[in-house]
Every structure is written in C-alpha cells, then in structure tokens.
Amino acid sequence: MSNPDQDVFYMRQALALAQGVLYLPSPNPRVGCVVVRNGEVHGRGATQLVGGPHAEVMALRDVLQNGLTAEGATIYVTLEPCCHHGRTPPCVDALIAAKPARVVFSHFDPNPNVAGRGMRALREAGIQVTVGVCAEEALEINPGFISRMTRGVPYVWLKAAASLDGRTALSNGESQWITGAEARADGHHWRARSCTVVTGIGTVRTDNPQLTVRHVETPRQPRRAVIDPGLSIDANALVLKGGGTTLFTATKDTDKTLRLADVGAEVVYVPETKLVASSSLSGKSRPRVDLLEVMRWLAKRGDNEIHVEAGSGMNGALLQAGCIDELLIYTAPMLIGEGMGIAKLPGLHKLSQAPRFEFIDVARLGADVRLRARSVARWQDLLKKIHLN
C-alpha cells in the first residue's frame, strides 16, 4: 500500500537527481529516478547526454552494480517513462523486465509518442502505477520541454541587469558592469541550462558579447542566436567565434550569407511582420522579423529553454510579440538617472493594460538582488497540460 508522505520523500530524491543534470541532456527532459525496496534505496540515476541512457536505465544499472534487485521494488521517476524507440530503447521495457511492484511518476509526458502510453504499458504488465507526486516541482525542472511539446515554442526567460530606477545602461550605452561578480555568475547558470542564448543586433554592435558560459562549469555550451533583421552583423563579431551561431534575418543577401557561412554561422530567413520606423536621421524604415516564428523555428530544432540577453528594443519587441514567459531581473543598489530601460514598450492609457507577472523568487547575490517573475496564466496552462484529461 502506498504511503503519500513516503512517496513525496523519495520523489524529492529523484527530483534532486534531475536538478543535478540541468545542463546535460537537452533536448531531452531532465529526469531523475530512485529505486526503493524494503525501505532502502537500491539504485539512483539521471538522464545523460542526448543519445545516452535515460534515468530509469541508469538507476537499474546502479541496482545491478550494487548487487541488488529491483524486483518487487517501488521505482520513483520524475516523468512518465517513455514507451517509444527514439535515440534509445523504451524505458518502459527496461522497467517491466525489472519486475517492480510499483512505479510512481510525477506527471505525464506530453510528447505525443508517450502521453499516457507508458502508464498503460506498465499497468498491462501488472505493475501498480501512481501519478501526480510533486508534479509542479517536476515542472519547474522541465518547463521548456513541456512548452515545446504542448505549445510548439520553447519556454523563454528574459534576463536583464538594472539599477534601482530600472536603468540597464547609461544614455551613451555603457552597461558594464551594473551588477557584481556574484550576479554575473548566477546569470551564467541560467545561460548554461538554456538550449540557446538569444540577443539582438543592437547588443552585438554595442557590447560585442561572446554569450558563452564561462563562470560555471558545464558539459556543453548553449547555442547562440542573433536577431539581425538587416543581416548587418560584422563577420568578426565575438558571438560568431567558434561557429554554430544562428542569425535570424528578414533580408535575403546571398553574398553575405555565404561569407557568414565561412565563419560557421547559419542564416535563417524569417518572414517580415511589419516595418518599424527607425530613429535614424535618414528617415528610412527597417525590417522586423516575426519573433514568434523565430521561437517556433527554435522549438522545431529541439530547443526547450531560451535565455534572452538583449537591449531594451529587442526586449520590448519580444514582450509585445508574446514570447516571454519569465523575467530574470538582477537589481543593483544604485541610481543611474537618465539612461536606457529594461524594455521599450508603447505607452499605456490605463494601468490595467500593463502585462502582469508574479514574483516567484527573490535571491540575494552579493550586493545585488535577483528577482524572478513569471506569467501566471502561462504557468497554469503548462500545469494543466501535464495532467491527462
């Protein structure tokens, strides 16, 4: 007979294992697994690099290496076990072969290839199944995977470092460094757990960033992408070093595309949404790419989580396009006065028109504070989608 408190206790051990591989298995979800028999943990495992073993297989291997057995055990998994052939064989087959008495998982896998089939296969094999233990805690670890599978877009957070009066740079563009070393290192953690770091061409011109992970250890570097509507990036920009950077543009320029390919960049043409009046003296207008289409493209590539580090113009455009799920704001205890804000947005006539987010976490990082705020409606929608009707 199941014990709810015991289920939570062991599931949280499995969740800790999944949390421990935040930087590792993309585009696969982060999953942890614990095998418990007669009140003792016989094996533990977490999903490995893409193409490697999943959490259930790693935990069952650990059981064997410990000279123990999973027969009659209860197995705790943070996501419904897969039941299809992908890069690896179905985890359900390995579980059935191990003959546990019971399998507990946090929530259903919304991947259309799974979506309840894993549960049914286990039950048809005579294994008791319990679903829904620590479901929201599990979603916190894989919001991007759930979003990609159910909405067709990644989960996107926007990171900005700002003063107390909401300025991200001086009027002349100087922004390094508003926050201290601890806040910058934390920002690299969020880069490392993402699939792609996205910026705009304005930030590339002003700051010439690398957008690589340097302040935390990671087994893989996230990909980098630049929203560059006019395809005006300099081929010597640091963000292109090492190759593999994706450039999203609304401009078809075969010669420039070939030159950028020589430095390892991939140019992706995205349809233009509308012309945006420029602030340049020329009075000309500039193209603007469909940002939601950019996110759909990234999802089709297998990107789960997107980390945005851009200027106020790009931040505002992404917010207006409805692309941002969460804000990650690092606030420094200083006042800048006249300068650049977090996002350029059109003026409102009523406060009720303002996009609303809910604070979910506040953390002290050296002299600075990190604020996390997310769209409640979007989060609740993801929660609904991990439960089968």
Binding residues for substrate: 175, 191, 203, 211, 214, 309
Q: Which residue has the tokens 């303002």?
A: 354
Q: Which of 83, 115, 145 finishes a domain?
A: 145
Of the candidates 370, 324, 374, 375, which has an alpha carbon nearest to the alpha carbon of residue 160? 370
d(CA 389, CA 385): 9
> What CATH number did the domain enclosing 329 receive?
3.40.430.10
pLDDT for residue 274: 58
pLDDT for residue 363: 97
What six digits make up the tokens of 278? Answer: 């420029």
85 and 122 housed in the same domain: yes
The residues pairing with 45 across neighbouring beta strands, listed in sequence order, are 33
> What CATH number did the domain enclosing 121 receive?
3.40.140.10
182 — phi, psi (to 5°)? -65, -40
pLDDT for residue 85: 59
Q: Which residue has the tokens 């982060």?
A: 30
Question: Going by C-beta distance under 8 Å and a sequence separation of 6 or more, which residues neighbour residue 349?
Answer: none
d(CA 18, CA 33): 8
171 and 105 housed in the same domain: no
Q: How many domains does the chain have?
A: 2
Secondary structure string (H, E, C) spanning 357-383 = CEEEEEEEECCEEEEEEECHHHHHHHH
267 and 308 housed in the same domain: yes
37 and 56 housed in the same domain: yes
158 and 93 housed in the same domain: no
Find the farthest-apart pair of alpha carbons in the chain and give their distance in angstroms, rounded: 76
290 — phi, psi (to 5°)? -75, 105
The answer to whether 370 and 184 are in contact (CB under 8 A) is no
- Identify the burial level of 262 via C-beta atoms within 10 angstroms of its C-beta, where 0-12 means exposed, 13-18 middle and 19 or more buried: exposed
Where the chain has pLDDT below 70, the residues are 1, 84-88, 174-175, 274-287, 388-389
pLDDT digits (tens, 9 = 90+) for 192-218: 999 999 999 999 998 999 999 999 999
26 and 131 housed in the same domain: yes
Of the candidates 316, 338, 331, which has an alpha carbon nearest to the alpha carbon of residue 368? 331
Say which of 40, 56, 174, 358 is annotated catalytic: 56
244 and 345 housed in the same domain: yes
Question: Going by C-beta distance under 8 Å and a sequence separation of 6 or more, which residues neighbour residue 248?
Answer: 225, 226, 227, 228, 268, 270, 289, 294, 297
pTM metric for this prediction = 0.91
270 — phi, psi (to 5°)? -120, 130
3-state secondary structure of 325: coil
- Residue 39: domain span: 4-145
d(CA 233, CA 240): 9
56 and 197 housed in the same domain: no
263 and 380 housed in the same domain: yes
d(CA 159, CA 342): 9
d(CA 169, CA 174): 5
Q: Which of 129, 145, 161 finishes a domain?
A: 145
What six digits make up the tokens of 259? Answer: 């030159």
Average pLDDT, the chain: 91
195 and 329 housed in the same domain: yes
- 56 catalytically annotated: yes
d(CA 191, CA 389): 35
pLDDT for residue 280: 38
DSSP 106: S
- Could you please report the per-residue DSSP string of 38-51? TTEEEEEEE--STT
228 and 187 housed in the same domain: yes
3-state secondary structure of 174: coil
214 and 332 housed in the same domain: yes
What six digits make up the tokens of 56? Answer: 């259930």
Q: Which of 111, 145, 179 finishes a domain?
A: 145
d(CA 239, CA 218): 18
pLDDT for residue 281: 38
Dihedral over Cα of 300, 303, 306, 310: its sign: negative
